[in-house]
A and B are shown apart, each in its own frame.
Chain A
Amino acid sequence: NAGVMQNPRHLVRRRGQEARLRCSPMKGHSHVYWYRQLPEEGLKFMVYLQKENIIDESGMPKERFSAEFPKEGPSILRIQQVVRGDSAAYFCASSPLGLAGVNEQFFGPGTRLTVL
């Protein structure tokens, strides 16, 4: 069973460009989470999605950032008009359909975004 896949692993953008980060959850997982890890900091929750629905976007910056998890295909985190402060590692995690008890989150290898 393949794990959580993210691509690209490394992404370089110039200021003002758009960055699109992709995440394919583990097979059978319908919950996707995006986190951002700034240099020398911990993980900060950004957004939680289920198929075609945003469940919680309380950690997402109000401007320039958006996320989707369509019925078919990977989840996409989009950052428009990137700035240097967006340089970070972006991690995706997935978990299976909610059951009684607590589900583990399985993490992808991350996308390291560098804004020049």
Chain B
Amino acid sequence: GNSVTQMEGPVTLSEEAFLTINCTYTATGYPSLFWYVQYPGEGLQLLLKATKADDKGSNKGFEATYRKETTSFHLEKGSVQVSDSAVYFCALSRTGNQFYFGTGTSLTVIP
């Protein structure tokens, strides 16, 4: 079956620290992979995506590389800001119409 496993939180970092949130997946075939971000009280917003192996998605300083050999799509940012505090969801889709989400990782960045 299809599933996503995310690193459990919560994660607390100081401003300008390096961020890694781990995500691994199980899927048949070749899924597309996504990171969504949810700010307090809001819906999910697409942060970045990658549609094939070795693709790197990037946005707002965040990056994730689709690693087929390790079935991973870890999210990284070199220097986090207080405004990055949110919940981050890793997701996969094979058909474009069925998405499978991880449980989310809460990030708090302190000044």
Residues of A near any B CB (own CB < 8 A): 4, 6, 31, 33, 35, 41-45, 48, 55-56, 91, 93, 95, 98-99, 101-110
Contact = CB atoms under 8 A, between A and B. Distances in A.
Interface residues of B, number: 23
A41 B9 CA distance: 11
Select the residue from B44, B45, B51 with max chain A CB neighbours within 10 A: B44
A91 B41 CA distance: 12
Contacts of A99: 96
Contacts of B44: 43, 91, 93, 107
A104 B51 contact: no
B98 A107 contact: no
B61 interface: no
B1 to A, nearest CB: 12
B45 A101 contact: no
Contacts of B49: 102, 104
- Secondary structure at the B interface, as helix, strand, loop or mixed, is strand
A48 B98 contact: yes
A42 B93 contact: no
Interface string B97-108: 111111110000
A58 B83 CA distance: 36
7 nearest A-B pairs in the assembled complex, by CB-CB distance: A42-B103, A107-B43, A102-B32, A102-B96, A103-B96, A107-B44, A43-B101
B46 interface: yes
A55 B89 contact: no
Contact of A98 (B51, B96, B103, B104): B96
16 contacts: A33-B99, A35-B101, A42-B101, A42-B102, A45-B99, A56-B98, A91-B43, A98-B97, A101-B32, A101-B96, A103-B97, A104-B34, A104-B46, A107-B43, A107-B45, A108-B43
A3 B28 CA distance: 32
Given A48-B98, A102-B51, A42 B43 contact: no
